[in-house]
Structure 1
Amino acid sequence: MKPQRVCLYTLGCSKNLVDSERVLKRLEDAGFEAVHEPSSTLRGDIVIINTCGFIGDAKEESVNTILDFAAMRTDGRVSCLYVMGCLSQRYREELAAEIPEVDRWYGKTDWDTIVSDLSARNALQTPVFDRMLTTPPHHAYLKISEGCNRFCAFCAIPLITGRHRSRQVGEIEQEVRMLVGRGVREFNVIAQDLSAYGTDLEGSHSRLAELISRLSDIKGVDWIRLHYAYPADFPMDVLDVMAQRPNVCNYLDIALQHISDPMLKAMRRHITRSQTIELLDEIRRRVPGIHLRTTLMTGFPGETEEHFEELMEFVAQQRFERMGAFAYCEEEGTYSALNYTDNVDPEVKQRRLDRLMSLQERISQEIQNEKVGKDLRVMIDREEAEYFVGRTEWDSPEVDPEVLVEKHPSLRQGEFSMVKITEALPHELMAKVI
């Protein structure tokens, strides 16, 4: 008899995607046909939605997705509807009362409970780190911790995921070896707070440098890229590993949020303007050629035009290779929601955001232009109608620019190639095989 099909849909960040991959593997081991985000569902399918609850837009997308599938559940187009993830972790009771069409609600890490509720054949023998990859087979996200202890004024993550919890180094090494055995060559290391990795383990100090060093020693690991470091208490020794190990990419994603001292204090970021600039200078000094990605915020309560102009000047001076930004959105239960008034007009927030991103667009184009004529090593992700699409060590999947390479018989998905950059576009580089 054909196994029951379970379709899992993931919303939100790459950390959520890793959770979905772990659920999919457990479902597969329990005898289900586990499918990630099929283009359409079949009558009789079980559907699981892994939700995001980080900011207002993400919560709205999650609720709308649940409602869409709830209608299909009512019409009998799907047999069961389960919801898991950050949104249901925080609002399970409220959501259950409002959307009764959902059969069951789960939190963020109830993976084994979901499987055991679906089948008497549970997947308790599945290693905790095993998963079914949904990314291209040559790269994977590697989540090394969960939760956060920072309690920034605007952020609801600690309210959803709880305190920071690091995985053991040995377990992470096992996972990497397993994935290398399946053909993975590139590992994008992720956590809510990379800087705090290991502070809750033996020794009570950051062990990020030790972890990355040990992972880089594993045969078959060609690229390691670091995402979501916190600027306060940044572990400087990881820069030495980055500088010395050729398979640790010269890339760092470090969210700064703002630069004005009054804003940093109000945001509870535990760092000052001068400390931030000193940190960035030291990072660039110790890792020449590093590409920095950051995230900034406009319209936080109390932000004045002077604060914003200071932020604009900072971005112009720092010339970040990669940058994203968003307008402040009040999240219930956070320090800012409880203690501040959301007093910046929405149109002002958006105007500031538009100006900030327009500035970054010009900076990004100038940095892209500097790569024209250079020979770069790229990983080939996929083939499209007119080009092969790849990335340099400075390009993280999904969020950073891509390299469009003229078709050549030597190019293969999941393999490296040396290319010459021939043209720079706002969000892509054009190249040909050397």
Structure 2
Amino acid sequence: MRKNQVDVITLGCSKNLVDSEQLIRQFLANGYKVSHNSSAVNGEIVVLNTCGFIGDAQEESINMILKMVEAKKSGRIGQVYVMGCLTERFMDELKKEIPEVDGYYGKFNWKNLLTDLGKAYHHDPLGGNRSITTPTHYAYMKISEGCNRSCSYCAIPIITGKHKSRPMESLLEEAKALVASGVKEIQLIAQDLTFYGLDIYKKNCLAELMQRLSDVQGLEWLRLHYAYPADFPREILDVMRERDNICNYLDIALQHISDRMLRAMRRRVTKAETYDLLCYMRQSVPGIHLRTTLMTGHPHETDQDFEELLQFVRDIRFDRMGAFVYSHESGTYAYEQYEDHIPLSVKQERMDRLMQTQEQIAGELNAAKVGQTLRTLIDRAEEEYFIGRTEYDSPEVDGEVLLARGEHPDLQVGHFYPVEIISADTFDLYGRIH
């Protein structure tokens, strides 16, 4: 166990990561040494930032808590604290079941951890409110908390509450500070980007926010995660098309396509409206790459519903796609109103068929890029390759561009290069400097 050492472990999504980065900054401002997601956790203090979205994520978080408790018992680490979405949702149960944890905090009261440790909360410490854990050339920026949607399956509103937009001026200040620190790419994130501004400005302000952020000098790429299809603000597509530093990329979670399932899921959008919106996106922003997430096994999903979903994937040919099986989450509308009657094996088999179909599509779309020259940002250097991304690739979730180090010894991480694509596999591209 290392004295004055804090280990922060983040599970779940990039929105959790931003919370961890704020906490790390506070520990640094109080004189601690901090490691994030270290392979060798040995701190005097360990803070676990948990995910509570669906069953698999909850299980991963609980297993990590138990692992840290065992490390504490053996003396390898000191105090263990747990925060985040899982504790926000299941605080009482966790305290009862795993009392060995030194303190539990929710998603929003983690500042109390500093108080309980006898440390001060530093406003704007060390010239910023976060310590970036990503490579220094890109960062995530959370523009809101919470969600006002009422999707049947989703526990996020239970955990985070109603949508709360951050003031635009605050976001602009943060973006300028990030760019001044060397960030070239900002990933805009929220549970629902497309609701931005409705609560505090009484109108949708995402397009205006995109315009103002894209005016920040030195910002090379601005990328959007996650949009919602109902009441989609189509004006953001005009901004995307007109601004060179806004990536032609959109992450929009669609979940399903059959009208029966969209109603059961309380998505407030129809099959026809979804097809129309996706067609409009591709017409408005030529070359736009669309990422989506789909769900299998929601209560009442029939074989016919699933076949509609499979055909939807074939029709639209998403550039990037993920899928997950329905999880029966307590407190949600689906939990209260529907029986979770579809066997897990059926849910999984449907998801596997979706992903197999997408794998073939992704391979074909990648193969079509061979011969093109794409602006590529180098993220990291590995043993054999420099690894980069195009504007069509988000970190962690999308494919990458690989350049042989032996042929390109002078490339620099965090720099952009014109890369000719010379070959492709299902998910990654291989290239050389053009």
What TM-score does the superposition give when structure 1 sets the normalisation length? 0.97
Give 1:295's aligned residue: 293
**What is the number of residues matched between the two proteins?**
431
Following the alignment from structure 2 to structure 1, what is the Cα–Cα distance between the partners of residues 364 and 37?
37
Following the alignment from structure 2 to structure 1, what is the Cα–Cα distance between the partners of residues 433 and 285?
28
Give 1:418's aligned residue: 418
How far off its partner does 1:121 sit? 3.4
Give 1:39's aligned residue: 39
Following the alignment from structure 2 to structure 1, what is the Cα–Cα distance between the partners of residues 330 and 317?
34
How far off its partner does 1:183 sit? 0.4
Following the alignment from structure 1 to structure 2, what is the Cα–Cα distance between the partners of residues 116 and 34?
18
How far off its partner does 1:138 sit? 0.2
Following the alignment from structure 1 to structure 2, what is the Cα–Cα distance between the partners of residues 34 and 238?
39
Helix, strand or coil for the counterpart of 1:137? coil
Is the CA contact (8 Å cut-off) linking 2:4 and 2:44 kept in structure 1? yes
After TM superposition, the structure 1 = structure 2 runs for residues 124-143 of structure 1, keeping only pairs within 5 Å, are 124-126=123-125, 130-143=129-142
Give 2:432's aligned residue: 432
Helix, strand or coil for the counterpart of 1:251? strand
Give 2:183's aligned residue: 184
Is the CA contact (8 Å cut-off) linking 1:22 and 1:111 kept in structure 2? no
Is the CA contact (8 Å cut-off) linking 1:22 and 1:129 kept in structure 2? no
Give 1:321's aligned residue: 319
How far off its partner does 1:129 sit? 6.9
Following the alignment from structure 2 to structure 1, what is the Cα–Cα distance between the partners of residues 404 and 67?
41
Code of the residue aligned with 1:9 in structure 2: it is I
Following the alignment from structure 1 to structure 2, what is the Cα–Cα distance between the partners of residues 377 and 211?
25
Give 1:266's aligned residue: 264
How far off its partner does 1:41 sit? 2.6
Alignment pair present for 1:72 and 2:78 = no
How far off its partner does 1:93 sit? 1.0
How far off its partner does 1:128 sit? 11
Output one character per residue of 1:183-226: Cα deviation in whole Å (capped at 9) or x when no partner: 00001110000110111012x11100000110000001000000
Code of the residue aligned with 2:41 in structure 1: it is T
Cα distance, 1:15–1:378 mapped onto 2, change above 3 Å: same
Is the CA contact (8 Å cut-off) linking 1:173 and 1:215 kept in structure 2? yes
Runs of 4+ in 1 over 4 A off after TM superposition: none
Give 1:246's aligned residue: 244
Is the CA contact (8 Å cut-off) linking 1:156 and 1:333 kept in structure 2? yes
Following the alignment from structure 1 to structure 2, what is the Cα–Cα distance between the partners of residues 67 and 120?
26
Q: What are the ranges of 5 or more consecutive residues in structure 2 without an aligned counterpart?
A: none
After TM superposition, the structure 1 = structure 2 runs for residues 309-388 of structure 1, keeping only pairs within 5 Å, are 309-388=307-386
Is the CA contact (8 Å cut-off) linking 1:257 and 1:295 kept in structure 2? yes
Give 1:56's aligned residue: 55
Helix, strand or coil for the counterpart of 1:336? helix
Q: What are the ranges of 5 or more consecutive residues in structure 1 without an aligned counterpart?
A: none
What TM-score does the superposition give when structure 2 sets the normalisation length? 0.97
Alignment pair present for 1:236 and 2:226 = no
Following the alignment from structure 1 to structure 2, what is the Cα–Cα distance between the partners of residues 167 and 6?
29
How far off its partner does 1:386 sit? 1.3
Code of the residue aligned with 1:60 in structure 2: it is E
Identity between Structure 1 and Structure 2 (%): 53
- Worse overlay, 406-415 or 261-270: 406-415
How far off its partner does 1:34 sit? 2.1
How far off its partner does 1:116 sit? 1.8
Alignment pair present for 1:402 and 2:400 = yes
> 1:225 aligned to 223, 241, 244, which one?
223
How far off its partner does 1:127 sit? 9.3
CA RMSD, 1 decimal: 1.4
Code of the residue aligned with 1:112 in structure 2: it is K
Helix, strand or coil for the counterpart of 1:4? strand
Following the alignment from structure 1 to structure 2, what is the Cα–Cα distance between the partners of residues 6 and 119?
15
Give 2:166's aligned residue: 167
Following the alignment from structure 1 to structure 2, what is the Cα–Cα distance between the partners of residues 21 and 289?
34
Output one character per residue of 1:405-428: Cα deviation in whole Å (capped at 9) or x when no partner: 123144110000001101011121
Give 2:107's aligned residue: 108
